[in-house]
Amino acid sequence: MTLESIEEIVALLEEHPVAEIEIEEQGRRLLVRKSPAGRPPSLLAAEEPETFAETEAAPSSEAPPVALSLLLTAPMVGIFHHHDPPIRYGATIKTGQLIGYIESLKLMNEVTADSGGRVTEVCEDNTAVGYGQPLFRIEPV
């Protein structure tokens, strides 16, 4: 990966409402996270030391396909509850779709998907979440 392509990825992260981009290409893995609003990057780096990392993977005979993973994150602090019926691993969600609720101050606040794709990871139901905490990991389709 060149410096220019990494800069393009960072620019994409700033333009879209996602918290993290992960790319695997030619045996290398690149993970870029942005800090939640109001938190300086130095505090985030202290809590999550791999804010920006590129690692070498085992060499393979053929180049693996580029994998892109996006996170749908909590917009506020509270208790996350899944929408009924709950969204499961492998389901496809659309931008703007209701994915659950965050209970905060005894109010149920709707949480909608800011990106669409296939669900590859799901947050547990009735889980306390903080601002920017991942609720779902998706792969764009």
Residue 48 CB contacts under 8 Å (≥ 6 apart), including other chains? 33
CA distance 111 to 74: 8
DSSP assignment string, 62-103: SPPPPEEEEEEE-SSSEEEEEPSSPP-TT-EE-TT-EEEEEE
pLDDT attached to residue 43: 41
- Give the pLDDT confidence score for residue 14 in this predicted structure: 74
Q: What per-residue confidence (pLDDT) applies to 23? A: 77
Rounded to an integer, what distance in angstroms lies between the CA atom of residue 40 and that of residue 113?
25
Gap between the Cα atoms of 29 and 22, Å rounded? 7
pLDDT band (50, 70, 90) for residue 28: confident
Q: DSSP 3-state assignment of 24?
A: strand
pLDDT tens-digit series, residues 87-104? 999 999 999 999 999 999
- pTM for the structure as a whole: 0.52
- Note the pLDDT tens digit of each residue in 1-26: 677 777 777 777 777 777 777 777 76
Give CA–CA dist 97/19, Å, rounded: 18
Question: Cα 133 from chain centroid?
Answer: 9
Domains present along the chain, CATH in parentheses: 1-141 (2.40.50.100)
Write out pLDDT tens, residues 29-88. Answer: 777 777 655 444 444 434 444 444 555 555 555 555 555 788 899 999 999 999 888 999
* 126 has a pLDDT exceeding 80: yes
